[in-house]
Structure 1
Amino acid sequence: MAGCTDPPAPGVNWQRCNFDGLDLSNVNLSGARLRDGSYFRSILDGADLSGSQSFRAKFINTSLVDSNLSGADLEQADMTKSDLSGADLTNSDLRNARLTRATLRGANLTGARTGGTDFFRADLSGATWTDGQRVCSEGSIGRCN
């Protein structure tokens, strides 16, 4: 059962919990169950969400600057208008995720699975693309140029 009142910790079960508008900067949620959770307008700057199960989570208008999302399951997650500047998304599952108008400046997408991902008007300037080789040029909006 989800422990929505449990403190942030590695492996915590926050499935279907609502944490809208909270400051969760620098928390360690590695391996946590965040599936179907809501983090609307929350601050997760510097947070460790590596290996988290964040399927269909709502990170709308959320600040995830310099966060670690490596190996995270973000399939069908909604990250509309989120700030993922400098985020580590290596080997993450972003299939069918919504990154509409998100900021991914300087993010690392090496090995990320992006089939069906919506990058509409997303800022990918300076991001390392999924092949781990190409760095998106300044002004890369909606796709890596």
Structure 2
Amino acid sequence: MKKFGLMVVAAAAMGGAHALTPTPAEAGCSDFPIPNVDWSGCRKSGLVLTENDMSGANLSKTDITSTNLSQAKFLGARFERARMTLVLATQADFTEANMTQAEGGRAQFVQANFTKANLTKALLFRSNFTGSNFTEANMSKAEFSRSKFNDTNLTSAMLGFTNLSRAVFTGALIDGTDFQKSWLYLTDFKGVDLSKAVGLEQSQIDLACGDDKTVLPAGLTKPADWPCAEE
């Protein structure tokens, strides 16, 4: 009987220890969208989170597909491996956010702020970043094919080894922007001043598209087939 009593106590202790391990719902999935909220691994697709302050929030591996984040604040927030397809994030603030390996496409980031954000290996193809600020952002080894970077500020941004094929940079500010080994197949630089770009090579320019108003770094020349033929 005494042995049985010890077994019951031990089982209760084990159950108590298991109860201390929170499920995703217990970890914060039902919490309000406030600063430092932990929504990691939660399903938050199709929501309206406009104008919320979620600075410091943890949204790593969170499904925010088709969610409206417009004018929301995510200063220093975590989005590692977050699913962001069709996200609407007009004028959202992602300053110093970690978006490493965030996955998505056809997202709308018009006039968003990505200052000093980390977008390393992000998969955000066919997205619209028109008018956004990428000052000192790390966009290395990312996938931005067919995306729009019209009128963006890319001062000191890192785009090394990034896929920018068929992306459009009309009106973009290129100043200290690093394009080392980035893939520029049919990338549209028509009218863009690339004279202060870093890491550009002739082989990249030969693949890209420009026109008579495109300004290249010293030592590089415009291909004879510029401007590229319309597809």
Q: TM-score, normalised by structure 1?
A: 0.88
Residue 172 of structure 2 corresponds to residue 131 of structure 1: no
Q: Is the 8 A contact 1:109 1:128 kept in 2?
A: yes
Residue 9 of structure 1, CA deviation? 1.6
In 2, Cα distance between equivalents of 1:88 and 1:67: 6
Q: Is the 8 A contact 1:113 1:130 kept in 2?
A: no
Structure 2: give runs of 5+ residues left out of the alignment: 1-34, 36-52, 60-66, 193-204, 210-219, 224-231
Alignment of 1:21-60 (within 5 A): 21-60=81-120
Residue 127 of structure 2 corresponds to residue 67 of structure 1: yes
Residue 138 of structure 1, CA deviation? 2.9
**Letter of the aligned partner of 2:189 in structure 1?**
W
Residue 116 of structure 1, CA deviation? 0.1
Alignment of 1:3-18 (within 5 A): 3=54, 4=57, 8-18=68-78
**Equivalent position SS for 2:123:** coil
**Letter of the aligned partner of 1:71 in structure 2?**
G
In 1, Cα distance between equivalents of 2:144 and 2:206: 17
The residue number in structure 2 matching 1:102 is 162
Structure with higher RCO (Cα < 8 A, 6+ apart): 1
Q: What RMSD over aligned residues (CA atoms) do the two structures have, in Å?
A: 2.2
2:174 maps to which of 114, 117, 130: 114
Structure 1: give runs of 5+ residues left out of the alignment: none
**Letter of the aligned partner of 2:97 in structure 1?**
G
Q: Structure 1, residues 74-109: CA drift from partner, whole Å, max 9, x if none?
A: 111000000110000000000100001001000000
Q: Structure 1, residues 86-137: CA drift from partner, whole Å, max 9, x if none?
A: 00000000010000100100000001011100000001110110516xxx54
More helix by share: 2
In 1, Cα distance between equivalents of 2:100 and 2:116: 13
Q: Is the 8 A contact 2:188 2:208 kept in 1?
A: no
Q: Runs of 4+ in structure 1 displaced over 6 angstroms?
A: none
Q: Is the 8 A contact 1:34 1:55 kept in 2?
A: yes
Greater shift, 30-39 or 4-13, is seen at: 4-13
